[in-house]
Amino acid sequence: MSAQLKPELAELSAAELSELLSHNPGDPIAWRQLLTEIRQAQSESFRNGTPASELITRYTAIVDQMLVTAWATLVPDDAPAALVAVGGYGRGELLPRSDIDLLVLYAEGQLEQIQSELGAFITFAWDMGLEVGHSVRSPAECASEAAADITVVTNLMESRLLTGREDLFTAMDQAIGPDNIWPDDQFFKAKMAEQLQRYKQYDDTAYKLEPNVKEGPGGLRDIQIIGWVTQRHYGTAGLEELHAQGLLKSNELSSLISGREFLWQVRFALHMLTNRAEDRLLFDHQLRVAELFGYQDKSHNLAVEQFMQMYYRTIKGLSALNDIFLQLMDEDIFHRKQRDEPQVLDDHFQLRHGFIECREANLFQQRPLALLEIFRTWANNEHLKIKGISADTLREIRRDRENIAEIRDSREARQLFMDMLRMERGVLHSLRRMNRYGILGRYIPAFGKIIGRMQYDLFHTLTVDEHTLFVVRNIRRLAVPEFRHEFPALSDLHDQLNKPELLYLAGLFHDIAKGREGDHSELGAQDAYDFCQSHGLSSQDSETVSWLVRYHLLMSLTAQRKDVSDPDVVNTFVKQVETLDRLNLLYLLTVCDIRATNPKLWNGFREGLLRSLYSSARRVLERGDPVGMTELIAETRQAARLMCLEYGLAEARIDSVWERFEDDYFLKHSAEEIAWHVQAIVNAPADQPSVLVRHFRDRGTAVLIYMKDAPKLFGITSSCLAQLGLSILDARIQSSLDDFVLDTFIVSEADGSEITDPNRRQEIGKTLGQTLSRAESPQPVARRVSQRARHFSTPVQIYFTVDSDKNQTLMELVADDRPGLLATVGVVFDELDVELRAAKIGTIGERAEDVFFLTDRQGRALTDPAVLHALREGVTEHINLLTDSTK
């Protein structure tokens, strides 16, 4: 039977289904098999292009008929009961793996006589493969439960009578009506509070990376809530009826239906691919859904990124429609009878009930410039506690926003945009509002291309447009007195800017070319220059903004991948920056960019690196010539000496320690660190390792090891730190002239947080000291990587650069970030007699990007091709084994 009919099962008519069910009456196992084959046929039909909406309607009808047939088989015709579909099933939106919410209504006082039959029916439904959620209540009990719980009344509002006594259903429907419980104003307030709470739950970083199609902002719930509140207020049923009554514009109805269809497509795919009621677009699912939908990788834009951009753009549009319609409901419910006189704001806008509205009909058609002016008006009148833009005006913006193209190139529009960037307050809010209502991406078409664009990794936690506005937000906070305590030194720098709008423009354009073929920094720099020139900026200012966009990664990469204590590194950086003004702007942009990229990326260590590079570069620029190595060493020694003397150390004792180290030691460490080292060496026991752990405000937590040099120290140390659940951010290896080591590791907890607990620092020092005393490398802890990280794979890449001036070889390593990665690399170094001088550790989401400064045992650069080949092969092999063991 099933083998012959299977291709047609996805399109079964009611008569055909009834016939199939009649072949095995009362046999849940046979019905389960039929249901399984129907689901399989629907999946195949979906793969062949049948819209999810059609399949959802068909599947709902199939389940209806199966339940009604089962009820007729197991429950007497005269039973004092009714079978009702509620919730999403009642709404007729049943997906293959959705829960099936049922309500059994019974006549008051007559439950006992049908209890056994009802139990048999529910058991039968489960046995035939339906995941049923059910409740058994009288109409009065429904009213009581619904009056106490907004979610219950919402479920019951969407109910459908499947079979049984119609009078019970009618009684229930009347009992839960707005005349009896939850009048429209109370219902609306409760639903708004419910949505706000849902947004708080699903709008954090994790849910943005892996959004919930059903519950997340802009998801299916945002469409459903429109139906709920209008049904309660107007008595309507469905979006089409709202349109028929003139409550929804044609373009709004079209957008809601197309958005819902897209989300149904995604949700259907998730149910089909996972074979469960999965509503989360997890990283693994994103790849599979993108492939299913036919997206293909491009050199500059992955298939998954194309799909997710469509997803984010869809929910952005639905969220805006949700805004408009709920605001319309708010005005209609609470202000319809009270039409206050408006407060005139300017020639074109007025304020009524706290909302900005146009003073004349079709303003944006007659004066497209008003599409920009409304945001300036809002910003200029923030003191009036404006709630937002009225629903009718938002509708007009949405209808007429394409008209921005008519004035985009006009002198008035360009002057107005620049005036908004130069406002003392409201710059960020204006840009965010323009983005939310679809104006910013139309005024700057290049910005429109990055709206909703995501990058498929764990490093970037926001879409490109959201990240861009977060950068501007971070810059603006530097100028706001109430946030000055966050970065007082940076706020001081910001105060000194003559034209802060140049920095805002750089922030706005720094990633504007993401997703295009080519270097996004170079492409964005050209976009920025053209924009600045067209908006009346001088050639010099235009060049400044363009330069900032072109080199917005320069300071970050220099600080995190090079040795900023090296004068040559600083001087090379200064040659690229050229002026103090550029340095100040780049420093501010870099900090604000990093902090907007990933909340876990910013810490005291990175802050210290950037501050050190900035201070060194500023000094060079202010004096007009490079600072020499000899001068730096002398200054560091003098500052460290003064600190040591304050600690009560004698001059002779200080000199006796320093005589044991070469001059490069005073370049690698700050005066504060050197003074700490002297204390540690003076107080160190003679016959065992000394391990000290200290938290520096501007560098993070430092682990200092002082002991007699021994084989495999880096491997032992990094392995032990991995066992302790720590991440190594930086390593500096220092050897004395008398064969002692003075190694410093900057560490953090595995989640990137700083180690501020003294007990935790004591535990680290004690455990590492004991491990080094035993001189046996412990087995690294085989911690498995997170579920998310498993979906990303980075092939091992190794590059060598010989630095003849420093007599060292740089090994750049790119690989999956895995627990114990550095310990694994350290094992290979030991096996091949390679000495590590220093390491710069970078973690970019799921990917490690590390730089190791290497020599042979005699302190010479590694130049032998055979050695480099063995190093590359050994590191690659060991990392691949590590990756396999932690999956």
Neighbours of 165 (CB within 10 A): 18
Total residues found in the chain within this entry: 887
- How big is the CA angle at 68 (ends 65 and 71), to the nearest 5 degrees? 150
**Strand pairing partners for 702?**
694, 746
Q: Name the DSSP class of 725.
A: T
pLDDT, residue 450, reads: 96
Q: Which residue has the higher pLDDT, 424 or 104?
A: 104
Interstrand relation of 388-389 and 355-358 (parallel, antiparallel or unpaired): parallel
Taking each helix axis from N to C terminus, what angle separates 115-127 and 28-47, rounded to the nearest 10 degrees? Answer: 40
pLDDT in tens, 431-484: 999 999 999 999 999 999 999 999 877 667 789 999 999 999 999 999 999 999
pLDDT in tens, 203-212: 765 568 889 9
pLDDT, residue 766, reads: 95
Find where tokens 């880096």 sit. Answer: 714
What are the distances in angstroms from CA 356 to CA 283, 393, 875? 41, 8, 63
pLDDT, residue 461, reads: 78
Q: Is the pLDDT of residue 421 over 60?
A: yes
pLDDT, residue 1, reads: 39
Predicted TM-score (pTM) above 0.75: yes
Distance CA 737, CA 262 (A): 69
pLDDT, residue 780, reads: 58
Phi, psi angles (nearest 5°) of residue 212: -95, 115
Residue 796, Cβ density class (10 Å: 0-12 exposed, 13-18 middle, ≥19 buried): middle
Taking each helix axis from N to C terminus, what angle separates 14-23 and 28-47, rounded to the nearest 10 degrees? Answer: 140
Q: Is the pLDDT of residue 793 over 80?
A: no
* Strand, helix or coil for residue 435: helix
Q: Region 675-691: what's the mean pLDDT?
A: 93
pLDDT in tens, 48-95: 999 999 999 999 999 999 999 999 999 999 999 999 999 999 999 999
Distance CA 792, CA 787 (A): 10
> Above pLDDT 90, what percent of the chain?
76
Tell me what percent of the chain is helix, strand and coil, each rounded to the nearest 5: 60, 10, 30
* Strand, helix or coil for residue 757: coil
Distance CA 772, CA 385 (A): 63
Distance CA 383, CA 387 (A): 11
Residue-range domains of the chain with CATH: 2-182 (3.30.460.10), 185-334 (1.20.120.330), 444-623 (1.10.3210), 782-887 (3.30.70.260)
Tokens of 80: 């004092």
Q: Is the pLDDT of residue 787 over 60?
A: no
Residue 82 host element (H or E): strand 81-85
Residue 110 banded pLDDT, cuts 50, 70, 90: very high
Instruction: Kindly state the greatest CA–CA separation across the chain.
Output: 106
pLDDT, residue 784, reads: 57
Mean pLDDT of the chain: 92
Interstrand relation of 132-137 and 100-106 (parallel, antiparallel or unpaired): parallel
Distance CA 452, CA 438 (A): 12
Residue 598 banded pLDDT, cuts 50, 70, 90: confident
pLDDT, residue 3, reads: 40
pLDDT, residue 471, reads: 97
Q: Which residue has the higher pLDDT, 1 or 567?
A: 567
Q: Name the DSSP class of 627.
A: P
Distance CA 74, CA 89 (A): 22
Q: Region 647-670: what's the mean pLDDT?
A: 93
Distance CA 658, CA 650 (A): 13
What are the distances in angstroms from CA 378 to CA 296, 356, 364, 383, 424? 43, 8, 16, 10, 14
Q: Region 769-795: what's the mean pLDDT?
A: 69
Q: Region 99-118: what's the mean pLDDT?
A: 95
Distance CA 605, CA 597 (A): 16
Lowest mean pLDDT among 294-303, 620-629, 808-817: 620-629
Distance CA 719, CA 714 (A): 8
